[in-house]
Amino acid sequence: SEIILQQTRVAQGLPYYYAFVEAYPTVKDLALAPEEEVLRLWQGLGYYSRARNLHACAKNIWFDMGGVFPKTYDDLLKLKGVGSYTASAIASFAYGEVKAVVDGNVFRVLARYFGIETDIASSKAKKEFETLANQIIPEDQPGEFNQAMMDFGARLCTPKNPNCEFCPLKTSCFALTHSMVSDLPVKINKVKIRERHFHYYVITCGEKWVWKKRTSGDIWEGLHDFPQSESMADQQDKVLEIPLKKSKQLKPFPKNYRHILSHQRLNAVFSKVEIEEDNLADLENWCATEGFLLVEEKQIEYLAKPKLIVNFLNDQGI
């Protein structure tokens, strides 16, 4: 649940949590599962490195640690994909260790209540806020404290229009008493959003579709989408010269798609390339050369795919 809730709201993550604990009720079940299956179950939740890290953690615990889950903050930090926030959450919730959880909600509550004007995007902010949170966390109820701080920030001390009138801390809140609620927390460094344009080529030959599996280091590593060019939306990729010679024509799909990631906005158009079935052997050779996959249409649902591709397929009734 803590891995799922990284960068994800509870309402969005809850169905995935139930699906995961049903599919993998034990660490062993998850450790022995194929990565493709894990990614397929994660499909649509985004930040797919979390799924790969979760899978790697299960394999590490099962194969290298004798199936014994780490029980301390320091040992939890050694797991792949587990940082100070997740380690603190697990250690305090599951084992009662006195470790404060500091997420965006806690940053906001602490900044407003104590009047901290440190830029929360700066390198020193994390240590400063973690130190403060660990100074005020009670030793007898660390888990409940952490849950309360996060819930307080999510429900009452919200980023916009916080409910200060009904806040039980309003008489001692620095930001409220100094009319600085809208000024805190301070976040100077805005993340630059990169605008990208994809032209996807949906290449089919009878009931077979051409797919591309994203490689290591890619934001969609391990997921499947179509051959593409990244340039102006109407530019044809030279890599398609061979299949296009064997095709009827390039047929654009009428709808354009837009998908927003944390640091990127993806604008996508799709075009269909139909290959005559007599040219299947040539297409198979081309796919082998270019590193693409030929997949039967009835098997497409079992591929792990980005949400952008899922949305396109849904529109096509696939």
Cβ pair 227, 237 in contact under 8 A:
yes
Residues recorded for the chain: 318
CA angle 298, 300, 285 (to 5 degrees): 95
> Alpha-carbon torsion 285, 288, 292, 293, what sign?
positive
Amino acid at 10: V
How far is 24 from 34, CA to CA, in rounded Å? 12
How far is 160 from 5, CA to CA, in rounded Å? 21
One of 2, 36, 37, 221 is an active-site residue; which one? 2
Q: Return the closest-CA partner of residue 281 out of 200, 206, 212.
A: 206
Q: Supply 134's token pair.
A: 């660990």
How far is 283 from 287, CA to CA, in rounded Å? 6
- Tell me which H or E stretch contains 155: helix 142-155
284 is catalytic: no
296 bridge partner residues: 208
How far is 85 from 89, CA to CA, in rounded Å? 6
How far is 95 from 106, CA to CA, in rounded Å? 21
Query: Could you identify the residue written with the tokens 């081309």?
Result: 286
How far is 273 from 247, CA to CA, in rounded Å? 6
How far is 17 from 21, CA to CA, in rounded Å? 6
The catalytic site residues sit at 2
